Amino acid sequence: MLKEDARSIVQMLADHELALKELYQTYATALPSLKDLWLKLAEDEQCHADWLDSLGSGAGGANGPGPGGWPHPAAIENSLKYIRGQIVRARQGQVTRLIALSVAKDLESALLENAFFKVAEGASPEVRAVLARLVTGTEKHWQTVTDALNAAKRTPADAERTRHA
């Protein structure tokens, strides 16, 4: 069960996952050499948003944990603003493969470092399970992007730029 404030934060987190999905889909279009990587990440972000939505819709009520232990809404809003800016950059052709991978690595790392999916005190087993899956998924994304970034850095040229105006 989630209190209204916690439900609001969960919805913000779901919106954040959907923004990441949009960013990764934009990268898939703009940087076709890594299209499969970006589309897989985007697909995973949709799953993450769905998991969060399941908490908001099925866990209503006033007896569950409040927002204590959840990330501060301003932190989520700032990250959303940054992601939206990166989407615009990619659509304007201002992104290389190295930049896109670096941005993705930083975003996935920030989710972990800022404990966006930290389990709130008093959270139900359902909430704990979803947040644990989100942490695991984010760790996998971080590793995937880190591996791709390291491989890209070993590639002699990073001349591929987005092709959209």
Q: What is the pTM (predicted TM-score) of this model?
A: 0.85
Is 32 inside a domain boundary? yes
pLDDT, position 69: 65
Residue 34 has which token pair? 């890594």
Q: What is the CATH number of the domain that holds 49?
A: 1.20.1260
Q: Is residue 111 part of a domain?
A: yes
CA torsion angle 119 18 139 154 (round to 10)? -160
Which domain, by its residues, includes 140?
4-61+70-153
Q: Is residue 159 part of a domain?
A: no
Instruction: Return the pLDDT at 5.
Output: 76
Q: How many domains is the chain partitioned into structurally? A: 1
Is residue 139 included in any domain, yes or no? yes
In a domain, 162, yes or no: no
> Positive or negative, the Cα torsion across 21, 26, 27, 32?
positive
pLDDT by 10s per residue, the chain, length 165: 456 677 888 899 999 999 999 999 999 999 999 999 999 999 999 999 999 999 865 444 333 444 456 788 899 999 999 999 999 999 998 899 999 999 999 999 999 888 888 877 777 888 889 989 999 999 999 999 999 999 999 876 544 444 443
Do the Cβ atoms of 152 and 143 come closer than 8 Å? no
Residues contacting 15, CB < 8 A, separation 6+: 49, 80
Q: Which of 114, 97, 122, 121 has the alpha carbon at shortest distance from 16? A: 114
